[in-house]
Amino acid sequence: MPTRAMLTTLIAGRFALGAALVAKPQSQVGAGWVGGEEARRSVTTLLFRSVGARDMALALGTVSALRNGSPLKPWLLGATLADTVDLAATFAAGRAIPKAGKAGIALLAGGAIVQQLALTRSVEA
């Protein structure tokens, strides 16, 4: 996949997931991660909205850098850090996170980490 197409896909996915977490944290996106009962807690809703806003900001920053010809690497590394923490924290939570939530985060965050690290090798600093 060409670099620009991969970037566009990552940006769109990150923005869409972030917007879903901000707009409706108890939706399948949130509930699929931590389980339905946990997703309905006020504290979890607050944290999901924060994570969603973070992802939207990373997506918007990346698209802005792409359009303006600014360095992409800092945005890609920032997104990689965020995804790595999401992945590690999910597995560190142990049995509190359903198996399906762990699998979903492993696929989403893990896949994004691999793609973002590959992209950092092909873009200018």
pLDDT averaged over every residue in the chain: 95
pTM as predicted:
0.93
Interior angle at CA 33, CA 20 and CA 49, nearest 5: 40
Please report the pLDDT score of residue 124 as a whole number: 73
- Please report where in the chains the tokens 């946990």 appear, as a residue: 38
Contacts of 44 (CB under 8 A, 6+ apart): 25, 30, 34, 38
Rounded-to-integer distance, Cα 99 and Cα 33, Å: 9
Please report the pLDDT score of residue 125 as a whole number: 61
- Please report where in the chains the tokens 């198996």 appear, as a residue: 99
pLDDT band of residue 123 (cuts 50, 70, 90) is confident
Annotated domain spans of the chain: 3-122
Please report the pLDDT score of residue 51 as a whole number: 97
Please report the pLDDT score of residue 3 as a whole number: 86
Does the pLDDT of residue 32 top 70, yes or no? Answer: yes
- The pLDDT tens digits for 97-112 are 999 999 999 999 999 9
